[in-house]
Amino acid sequence: MRCSRLLPLLLALSASVAAEVRLATPATSDMADRELAEALQAAGSLERAAGAVNARVQLPQIVTLRYASCADANAWYQPEQGEVRICLSLARHLAALLATQVDDEAQMLEALDGALRFITLHELGHALVDVLQLPVTGREEDAVDQLAAWLLLAEGEGAGVLSAASVFGSELSGSDDLAAVHSLDRQRFFSLLCWVYGSDASRRDSLLADWSLPPERAAGCEEEYAQLGRSWQRLLAAHAPAAPESAPPAPGVGPDAGSESHASGSKSPDQNAGPAADGPVP
Ligand SMILES: [Zn+2]
């Protein structure tokens, strides 16, 4: 009789724990790709991106996240499998782009970590829109760029967002296809600069002088960033993980504070029908 009551509780607990973004083994049979995947896994970029989402959202299902061998330098979310794949060729592409913009290997690896985390959070944003059935008006690509930037900036990771901006601002980055689902790379570049400007006063002089953020755009960036933060916070609030019962609230901390303060990791086919590639730079 005791078991009849215990089993449903255990099953409920198991389901609750299992439904999260979960890092999976790389999908590759290529030796060089496998070695690269192991090195990247050790750096922890994907793990931190997954942690940022898991800290803020209780998913209704597992979303797997893995590196993979692919023909193109790409990344995407596959709704049918509930899976995000980050191509190892994309990691190589990003490393080559970023290596031209930094002074040494350590800086390149740091920049690569930031760019990979942004791209992974962008793809996980597509997953959240799908599995949580989040409303989106306008381009979903822009909305999940906002989410990725917001999650990184909420942890003070402006450098990571700027690494992603460097990729979009590079002359070697993807096409400027006016009919594409993404905003143009240069638009994504300036939007990321704007959101960093809006979130971090200490970077504003540099963004204007060194990154050429136009003052006309900068004038609205504080409100632009505040608005996207309010919007994503509201969208995710209904899906916040339950607070542990044993943990009493800190003095002066209201019930809404948990979703803002929990991120333990880093704090980022597109369309509804089938796996859509996310472009040369997702
Ligand atoms: Zn996308």
Distance, CA 126 to ligand 1 centroid (Å)? 7
Q: Any idea what DSSP says for residue 156? A: T
Residues for the chain: how many in total?
282
Distance, CA 212 to ligand 1 centroid (Å)? 26
Q: Which pair of structure tokens corresponds to residue 49?
A: 């991106």
| pLDDT digit string, tens, across residues 143-154 | 999 999 999 999
Q: How far apart are CA 212 and CA 185, in angstroms?
A: 15
pLDDT at 177: 85
Distance, CA 113 to ligand 1 centroid (Å)? 18
CB 266 within 8 A of CB 44: no
pTM, full prediction: 0.83
Q: How far does CA 126 lie from the centroid of its chain?
A: 9
- Position with higher pLDDT, 150 vs 280: 150
Distance, CA 254 to ligand 1 centroid (Å)? 34
Distance, CA 165 to ligand 1 centroid (Å)? 15
Distance, CA 125 to ligand 1 centroid (Å)? 8
pLDDT at 265: 36
Distance, CA 6 to ligand 1 centroid (Å)? 43
